[in-house]
């Protein structure tokens, strides 16, 4: 059986050490689980340090040592010194470095179910589902409740509702939000085509990720995943696969202060100018 190589890029900015350690503990367990099923799997893990703090580099170097000590077949590289260049641009730093079969674009605020990487290879490995170029997992909150990580094409109204975060308005426009968040698809717990997927976890065929040129770096933060998802449809199928399950703590630009609200609005404008405006 041919060797399968997996690559993982994780952009880290101002993250809590405890959270990062929990993330890597779960990722390592998932890779180890895969090595029990797939005897010839190599892993390349790229830690992209967007943080300005020098001490972040030493923390990531320590994580590198721990991961390589546990996963003897893994190669871990820390990429730093470039400053906070944005989420997409950070992930793009890995494009010339990876020669893998499959590439995971990840946030560091995730917890992996043990079988996630195994399920990924069961789905895509050794020529399976060859028309699929991008896969989204089932996302849950840390309490087990569902997050809606796949989306339909957004309207400006829906995005404003999400940004405001009003329970009253969300109830008033529940039908529009229901369609936008693809709740009917998610509720079925079945594989389904997806139009847009969350950037916190994107599983690519590496050849497709490279052909796409990675993320559009005009998006500093927010909507870079929407843009990349839509462009990926030009190369093959984009699929939601609930057999891959991860917990995610994040999102909610409107709850993070004016800086994030400003970034959200600016990126939304870039997105709609590029892909077309939808008002309602």
- Contacts by 77-80 with C-beta closer than 8 Å and gap 24+? 77/44, 77/45, 77/46, 77/47, 78/47, 78/49, 79/46, 79/47, 79/48, 79/49, 80/48, 80/49, 80/56
* Predicted local distance difference test score (pLDDT) of residue 142: 87
Concatenating the DSSP letter of every residue in 136-196 gives EEEEE-TTSPEE--EEPPPPHHHHHHHHH--HHHHHHTHHHHHHHTTHHHHHHTS-EE-SE
State how far the alpha carbon of 22 is from the alpha carbons of 72, 87, 146, 203, in Å. 20, 21, 20, 20
Contact, 61 vs 78, CB < 8 A? yes
Burial string for 96-108 (b: 16+ CB within 10 Å, else e) reads eebebbbbbbbbb
* Token pair in block for residue 75: 């190669």
CA distances from 188 to 67, 140, 148, 152, 245 (A): 36, 15, 13, 16, 14
Predicted local distance difference test score (pLDDT) of residue 257: 75
Q: 212 lies in a domain?
A: yes
Total of domains in the chain: 1
- Residue pair 121/38 in contact (Cβ under 8 Å)? The answer is yes
In a domain, 207, yes or no: yes
Contacts of 269-272 with C-beta under 8 Å, sequence gap 24+, read: 270/218, 270/219, 270/223, 271/219, 271/223, 271/226, 271/227, 272/156
Q: Which domain does 62 fall in, by range? A: 4-151+188-252
Residues 109, 19 contacting (CB under 8 angstroms): yes
Confidence (pLDDT) at 253 = 54
Q: Is residue 99 part of a domain?
A: yes
Residue 197 domain flag: yes
- Here the CATH number for the domain that contains residue 241 is 3.90.550.10
Task: Determine, yes or no, domain membership for 167.
Answer: no
Which residues, 6+ apart, have CB-to-CB distance to 57 below 8 Å?
Answer: 49, 78, 80
Domain assignment of residue 174, yes or no:
no
Please say whether the dihedral angle defined by the alpha carbons of residues 214, 202, 154 and 143, taken in this order, is positive or negative. Answer: negative
pLDDT score, position 252? 59
Residue 255 CB burial class (10 angstroms; 0-12, 13-18, ≥19): exposed
In a domain, 140, yes or no: yes
Q: Using alpha carbons only, how large is the chain's radius of gyration in Å?
A: 18
Strand-strand pairing, 74-79 and 41-49 = parallel
Strands 237-248 and 132-140 turn out to be parallel
Average pLDDT per block of 10 residues along the chain, 280 residues long: 87 87 95 86 95 83 93 92 95 97 96 96 93 98 93 96 88 94 96 98 98 98 98 98 93 69 95 96
């Amino acid at each position: 059986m041919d060797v399968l190589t997996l690559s993982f890029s994780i952009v880290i900015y101002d993250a809590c050490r405890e959270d990062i350690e929990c993330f890597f503990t779960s990722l390592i367990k998932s890779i180890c689980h895969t090595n029990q099923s797939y005897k010839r799997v190599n892993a390349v893990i790229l830690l992209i340090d967007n943080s300005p703090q020098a001490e972040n580099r030493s923390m990531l170097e320590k994580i590198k040592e721990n991961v390589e000590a546990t996963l003897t077949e893994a190669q871990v590289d820390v990429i730093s010194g470039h400053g906070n260049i944005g989420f997409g641009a950070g992930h793009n730093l890995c494009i010339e470095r990876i020669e893998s079969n499959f590439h995971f674009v990840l946030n560091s605020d995730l917890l992996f179910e043990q079988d996630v990487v195994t399920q990924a290879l069961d789905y895509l490995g050794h020529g399976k589902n060859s028309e699929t170029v991008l896969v989204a997992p089932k996302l849950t909150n840390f309490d087990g409740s569902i997050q809606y990580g796949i989306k339909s094409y957004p309207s400006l109204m829906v995005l404003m509702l999400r940004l405001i975060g009003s329970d009253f308005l969300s109830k008033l426009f529940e039908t529009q939000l229901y369609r936008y968040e693809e709740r009917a698809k998610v509720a079925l717990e079945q594989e389904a085509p997806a139009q847009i997927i969350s950037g916190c976890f994107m599983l690519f065929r590496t050849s497709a990720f490279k052909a796409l040129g990675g993320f559009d770096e005009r998006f500093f933060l927010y909507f870079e995943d929407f843009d990349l998802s839509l462009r990926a449809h030009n190369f093959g199928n984009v699929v939601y696969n609930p057999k891959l399950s991860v917990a995610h703590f994040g999102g909610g630009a409107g709850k993070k202060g004016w800086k994030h609200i400003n970034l959200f609005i600016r990126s939304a404008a870039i997105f709609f100018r590029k892909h077309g405006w939808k008002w309602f």
